[in-house]
Amino acid sequence: MKKQEVQYEIDLANPPALTAAQKAELTALKAKPDSEIDYSDIPPLGDAFWKNAVRNPFYRPTKTSTTVRIDSDVLLWLRAHGKGYQSRINAILRREMLASLRGTAAK
C-alpha cells in the first residue's frame, strides 16, 4: 500500500482557533500539579547537552541599510582588521545591546 503525503500550511500570524476539546485538555493540564505530569517521553537534558547546544544556526536576522556617521579614527581601526568591518560594527553593537538588555552595559 502506497502512503499518501499530507501537507498543511499554517499562518503563524493567525493560528486557527482552539477547539473545545483542545481548550478542555489545556484546562485539565493547567489544573494538574507538575508532579502529576508524565515527562517520561522527554529525555532529561543534562549539562552535557547544554554545553554543546547551539542557537538556531539557520536564523539570519534581517538587515536594514542605513547611514551612520562614525568618527574617522574608529572607522580606520575597524577597517585595519581586514574585511568585514561592517559585520564587526554589528557585532559590537549587538554585544552592547544584549548587555543593556541584561542590565550589564558598560557605562
Burial of 85 (0-12, 13-18, 19+ CB in 10 A): middle
What pLDDT, in 10s, does the model give residues 78-104? 999 999 999 999 999 999 999 999 887
78: which residues sit within 8 A by CB, 6+ positions away? 85, 88, 89
Does 93 map to a domain?
Answer: yes
The owner of cell 552595559 is: 105
83 lies in a domain?
Answer: yes
What domain range is 93 assigned to?
A: 68-107
The CA distance from 15 to 27, in Å, is 19
Would you place residue 107 in the very low, low, confident or very high pLDDT band (cuts 50, 70, 90)? Answer: low
Task: In whole angstroms, give the CA distance from residue 31 to residue 25.
Answer: 10
Rounded to whole angstroms, the Cα distance separating 101 from 95 reads 10
Counting the structural domains of the chain, the total is: 1
Supply the pTM of this predicted model. 0.45
